[in-house]
Amino acid sequence: MTYLETAAQFYQQVAETPVVGLCCIQSTTLNFPGLRVPKVMQEMNYGCGTTVHPQELIHKPKVLYVGVGGGLEALQFAYFSRQPGAIIAVDPVAAMRQAATRNLQLAAQVNDWFDPNFVDIRDGDAFALPMADASVDVVAQNCLFNIFEPGDLERALKEAYRVLKPGGRLIMSDPIASRPIPEILRQDERLRAMCLSGALPYEDYVQRIIAVGFGQVEVRARRPYRLLDTDTYDLDQPLLLESLDTVAFKVDSPPDGACVFTGRTAIYLGVNAAFDDGLGHYLERGLPAAVCDKTAASLATQFPTEIMVTPPTWHYSGGGCC
Ligand SMILES: C[S@@+](CC[C@H](N)C(=O)[O-])C[C@H]1O[C@@H](n2cnc3c(N)ncnc32)[C@H](O)[C@@H]1O
């Protein structure tokens, strides 16, 4: 049996018998006015953060959701799109597709605005998405890509890139590891399926997104997720896993490399009213402006006494001067 088959078997089990808190770290489900989430859907929240960022969803986007789980995020995306078939959700595990279908029917009973045909649930997997090139505005996945081995992760990222329209967004939430996970744990297929041992360190994870062509990556949240303790996992030191929420844009990279926004700002503290390097970096004195990590490093190196660069907050959500 391959590790992907082990994962499919595992998700068949947790589709048939929900496991509360399997992957989820949020104590409360992300709610919106007029949205009611059935209890079973909350119990089947197998995501580690959220991929539903309202500011990305204002123009009723067509969303391809990979790995439907119990359907919670498909319902949350449907809240913003509200059109038949606007959300396409794929999953290779029949029991999971059936559970999501049942849960969305329950959701329709308690949400006047929702029709189950807003979500089109299809058999499919992350490596062969059932969509034409450049056909969707958003691809989202929560707590799935981390279970893939590196070659498969690259395939899945390339496939997401393929189906996105130019300017489209890949929205992800995944565990990351505070240091490389020992190979013996990485090879444990069940732990991998449980989102506990496939996670990559932050830098590696982000570089893999950039490597398939995404020109801009924004970090929306980074939070503690699980602690792998020394006894249970036979480790020398405890190993912290974090959950990372990102939005990656299908835009061209600037010539000097992709922009990664982590919540850093640059603040001009020189003698003039503003700083302007003529390259698009305009800073009014005393006012923090969001900058990408590349710009942050360049400004801090070139103007160490005139510009202060603040550390990442890990929740960038727009604005600034690239
Ligand atoms: C950890 S669960 C996350 C479910 C959902 N995203 C959520 O946040 O609750 C992973 C989901 O991916 C599905 N899955 C497993 N292998 C997959 C693959 N190769 N392609 C797409 N989905 C897959 C599983 O059946 C399961 O529904």
Give residue-wise pLDDT tens across range 242-273.
Answer: 999 999 999 999 999 999 999 999 999 999 99
Is position 229 within any domain? yes
Task: With cut-offs at 50, 70 and 90, classify the pLDDT of residue 27.
Answer: low
**pLDDT at residue 307, rounded to an integer:** 98
Is position 315 within any domain? no
CA 94 to chain centre: 24
pLDDT at residue 318 above 90?
no
Please tell me the pTM assigned to this model.
0.96
Is position 320 within any domain? no
Residue 214 shares a structural domain with residue 159: yes
- Kind and range of the H or E element at 88? strand 87-91
| Mean residue pLDDT across the chain | 95
Residue 107 shares a structural domain with residue 222: yes
Range 70-89 average pLDDT: 98
Residue nearest to atom 4 of ligand 1 (CA): 69
Helices vs. strands in the chain: H and E counts, helices first:
10, 13
Range 169-192 average pLDDT: 97
Domain that holds residue 210: 3-249
Residue 47 CA to ligand 1 centre (angstroms): 9
Domains identified in the chain, total number: 2
Residue 200 shares a structural domain with residue 286: no
Ligand 1 pocket at CB < 6 A: 4, 7-8, 11, 23, 45-47, 66-70, 72-73, 90-93, 96, 125-126, 142-144, 195
Q: What CATH number did the domain enclosing 111 receive?
A: 3.40.50.150
**pLDDT at residue 322, rounded to an integer:** 64
Residue 38 shares a structural domain with residue 134: yes
pLDDT at residue 237 above 90?
yes
Q: Are 64 and 131 in contact (CB under 8 A)?
A: yes
**pLDDT at residue 26, rounded to an integer:** 60
Residue 116 CA to ligand 1 centre (angstroms): 20
Residue nearest to atom 18 of ligand 1 (CA): 125
Atom of ligand 1 nearest to the CA of 47: 8
Is position 165 within any domain? yes
Residue 229 shares a structural domain with residue 109: yes
Q: Provide the residue type at 195 as one letter.
A: C
Residue 243 shares a structural domain with residue 266: no
pLDDT at residue 69 above 90?
yes
Atom of ligand 1 nearest to the CA of 48: 8
Residue 154 shares a structural domain with residue 284: no
